[in-house]
Structure 1
Amino acid sequence: MRFTLATVIAALPFLVAAAPHPEANAGVKIPISKRSSLKNADGSANIPALRAHLAQSTEKIQNGLDQYQRNTGSRHPLASKAIKKRDSGSVSLTDDNSLLWYGAISVGTPAKVYTVDFDTGSSDLFLPGPACGSSCNGHTKYDPSSSSTSKDLGKTFTLKYGDNSTVSGEQYTDTVAIAGLTATTQTLGAATTYSDGFQSSNFPADGLMGMGFESISVYNAEPVFQSLVAQGETTESVFAFKLAAVGAELFLGGTNPDLHVGDFTYTGVIQEGYWQVSLGAISANGEDFATNVDSIIDTGTTLIVGDTKTVTAFYQSIGGEANSDLGPGLYTYPCDKDPKFSLTFGGKSFDVSADTFNMGKVSQGSTSCIGGISASDEEFWIVGDVFLANVYTSFDLGNSQVGFANLA
């Protein structure tokens, strides 16, 4: 069943940042790395991984919508277009070797270094704890008993993923630092259980750091960046990503002028929870699709995910089609075509390159390739790295807006 997105929703109050400390940092760079296994070694598409990634991305958003209602007592407006779970029972999270953007943080006193996946589509920080079993082998474990600043909150947590596998454990507070910026009494999770999908062979980072809003936090606690802002560690309540293949970077406390050209085009956050903004249009061959729909800007998703009707029309315009052999939501197009299309935000269109759109051939030697726009049953869109790798993106917490600029 399809539902019409409400055109009027109540915005949560904007975050008011604390005045920065005199020594607050004007901005710090965190180099980030990626690991992509959505293509096989021969360059063809890793179809099981694509199917699992699509399931995980949509399920993650659904879980956040549910958590929003638990935290606020109000139903999130996007929940009226409830995601219909796909039939993906044969696809486990173990197969989801999706693209991750990860870098280093330190936790505890004395500080110990961990790697985390930076994810704007969730809001919680978790690491493998000392009691985590064999699925945590190969990861650096966080041991609260070895940190003089840790405190057990006496609460458990469970985080669900695309195939209903979970990460679960105990909640603590401790000191968390990123490139010299320090958040004290930061809530984080020490996992006692990692699903198979978080084994080091599938998930190279030790844990995950969510960068969404507090209202979708499973802990119902401030995310790390919000803590840094509230504690006056940054002069600007802004973080920014470059997710291109070369020189990928997370910048905290502003934007890096060396990584973009021209001014930012900003679009306001419609509902704080996710980084949810209006997608003005997706355009191809002079035709506009998906005009003025809600979209979630998610660094934790590789694909662009839209509603089936619009995605089907888009592929028809570039000579592509749905391919039932691949599973629900995936589409193919002729490999010898170079689709020209763009996404519009804030009245400005940004081109998407053929390289980021092409997920690989259906099989080695095939003339059909899998496209980076996939379909799901919700009406809103999830905008992942297929688009974000083409732009420099600013997440402005203080003004509740997202900005895009062309890469330098």
Structure 2
Amino acid sequence: MIFKTITLSALAFLAASPTHASEEQAQAQATAKKPLVRIPMHKVSDHEYVNRFLIRERDALLNLQSSESKMDGIATPRKLNALRGGKDESEIIKDYANAQYYGVVKIGSPPQEFQVIYDTGSSNLWVPEKGCVHCGYRLIHGGKNKYDKDASESFVEDGTEFAIQYGSGAVSGVFAEETITLAEDIAVEGQKFATIHDAAGMGIGYAFGYFDGILGLGFDSISVGGVETVFHNAIDQGLVEKPMFAFYLGDNADGELTFGGYDEDKFVGNLEWVPLSDETYWRIDLDEIKMGDFVVGKTDAIVDSGTSLIVGPTNAIRSIANKIGASPTITGQYTVDCETLDSIPDITWTISGKEYTVAGKDLTIQSGGMCIFAMIGMDFPKPGPAWILGDVFMRKYYTVFDYDGARVAFAEAVSSF
């Protein structure tokens, strides 16, 4: 009887205080810890990577033969412009022919699904629109997924022109606003992104790639048009537990991208934090780079999930290639004799006093009887970086990106085998 009286009293109190109860519930929801949001990162196989390399080599040779150039057949040094943020500045430091990892993003209401490269080396989101030209071929991987603004209830027209200049040409379209969904949990509203109507500048690598577009994870300062990035908006809208994301890239396997923090099961030891040298790219200072008797003193690099290879100054990479007996190709990459992989020296980067080493045998991408050297030379004018630490580095070291803290962290990744 006492229990019944207490229960009825409690029910009466709750019935008389609906506002109080709803306020408590809202507060509890607001303070509840948000879970890590995980996006699987699919990896292009080494076999397919090598096949694409051979296609690019063939096309480059055909172009060379049809021109009046008197080149001697060895690639000239590659010089690309550095991406500069601001109103109409739209040059980017790379193309995506070598990209190996991609994942899903959803755009619109109801959501339309796209495969994108989650790229820490750029800051804009773009996908091809319905009617886009030079946007893949149906015979290759079924063609590209294309955004249909008429099928989305959350589409808001903007119309401002968007353009990025790649090494092989331009990619152009217009800005719009939409709801962007990462995994199933993060729905970023009112996000400005670009719908592309001509992707000719992506070249043959885009046609053969599994990705439809690019989702940049750099800083607003290098965003074309000064657009706030998807992740920055997610932070502002309170959609992530921490202003961090992290990459685990599987070696010969798929990987994972987490938003809102990092996964302690994906690495061994402790995370080592490194401050950024500036908040444009995820750019850090390097104390030293050493590979055999090749040594470079203080320099800098960007940590770039959208680049598969290790990129360095043309002269430096040429010197390394000569020392290991690598052969130059017409597209600027190098091949090595697969029988000599064990003789390739390890490479070590010293960052904030700590050494990070990648074994020499892991500096190649191998399929069948071909081994591609996973380092390439490019020269970037200022404010571009000297080096790029791409997926070759990030496969070995779990990498955390702290947006508000302006820092990155590295730890040895657990094996994906």
Q: TM-score range by the shorter chain?
A: 0.7 to 0.9
User: Tell me, which stretches of 5 or more residues in structure 2 are unaligned?
Assistant: 1-28, 62-74
1:376 is aligned to 378
Aligned with 2:57 (options 48, 51, 57): 48
CA distances 1:323-370 after superposition (whole Å, capped 9, x unpaired)? 455454647574452422222222211221344301349xx868xx54
- Show the counterpart of 2:122: 122
24-33 vs 169-178, which moves further: 24-33
> Which structure has more helix as a fraction of its residues?
2
Residues of 2 paired with 1:239 and 1:113: CA distance?
21
Identity of aligned residues (%): 28
- 1:64 equivalent to 2:83? Answer yes
Letter in 1 for 2:98: S
Whether the 8 Å CA contact 2:344–2:361 is kept in 1: the answer is no
Q: Give the equivalent residue in structure 1 for 2:151.
A: 146
Asked if 1 retains the 8 angstrom alpha-carbon contact of 2:288 and 2:298, the reply is yes
Residue of structure 1 equivalent to 2:404:
398
Which residue does 1:38 correspond to in 2?
Answer: 49
Residues in 2 aligned to 1:188 and 1:329: alpha-carbon distance in whole angstroms: 33
* Structure 1 Cα separation of the partners of residues 273 and 36 of structure 2: 20
Residue 103 of structure 1 aligns with which residue?
103
Q: 1:29 is matched with which residue: 21, 27, 38? A: 38
Give the number of the structure whose alpha-carbon radius of gyration is greater. Answer: 2
In 2, Cα distance between the equivalents of 1:21 and 1:372?
Answer: 46
2: CA distance between counterparts of 1:47 and 1:200? 12
Q: Is the 8 A contact 1:38 1:50 kept in 2?
A: no
2:172 aligns with one of 168, 172, 183: 168
Paired residues of 1:38 and 1:49 also in contact (CA < 8 A): no
Does the CA contact (< 8 Å) of 1:297 and 1:384 recur in 2? yes
2: CA distance, partners of 1:35 / 1:233? 30
What letter corresponds to residue 247 of structure 2 in structure 1? F
The alignment's C-alpha RMSD in Å is: 3.5
In the alignment, structure 1 residue 307 sits paired with structure 2 residue 309: no
Q: State which of 155, 160, 163 in structure 2 corresponds to 1:155.
A: 160
Question: Which secondary structure does the structure 2 equivalent of 1:190 belong to?
Answer: strand
Cα 1:297–1:402 shift into 2, 3 Å = same
2:286 to 279, 282, 288: 279
1:187 maps to 2:192: yes
Partner SS state of residue 386, structure 1: helix
CA contact (8 A) 1:289 1:314 kept: no
Match of 2:112 in 1: 112
Kindly indicate whether the alpha-carbon contact (under 8 Å) linking 2:78 and 2:378 is maintained by their aligned counterparts in 1.
Answer: no
**Cα distance 1:201–1:225, how it changes in 2: closer, same or farther (>3 A)?**
same
Contact kept, 8 Å, 2:363 with 2:392, in 1: the verdict is yes
> Secondary structure at the residue paired with 1:192?
strand
Matched to 1:160, the amino acid is Q
- Shift in alpha-carbon separation, 1:371–1:45, aligned structure 2, 3 A: farther
Quick one: structure 1 residues 313 and 68, their matched pair in 2 at CA, closer, same or farther if it must change by over 3 Å? farther
How many residues get paired? 357
Q: Which amino acid aligns with 1:220?
A: G
Q: Does 1:237 align with 2:239?
A: no
Q: TM-score, normalised by structure 1?
A: 0.77
The reply to whether residue 178 of structure 1 matches residue 185 of structure 2 is: no
How much has 1:50 moved relative to structure 2? 12
Task: Please state whether the residue corresponding to 2:147 is helix, strand or coil.
Answer: coil
Cα distance in 2, alignment partners of residues 56 and 186 from structure 1: 38
* Offset from partner CA, 1:53-94 (integer Å, 9 cap, x none): x999963xx2513x358579xxxxxx9xx98x9xxxxxxx8x
Which residue identity does 1:29 align to in structure 2?
R
Deviation at 1:388, TM superposition (A): 1.4
Secondary structure at 1:356 match in 2: helix
The amino acid of 1:373's aligned partner reads M
Match of 1:264 in 2: 271
Q: In 1, distance between residues paired with 2:100 and 2:79?
A: 16
**Counterpart code for 1:283:** K
Q: Amino acid of the residue matched to residue 169 of structure 1?
A: G
Query: How much has 1:280 moved relative to structure 2?
Result: 2.2
Answer whether contact 2:272 2:411 (CA < 8 A) is retained: yes
Equivalent position amino acid for 1:117 in 2: I
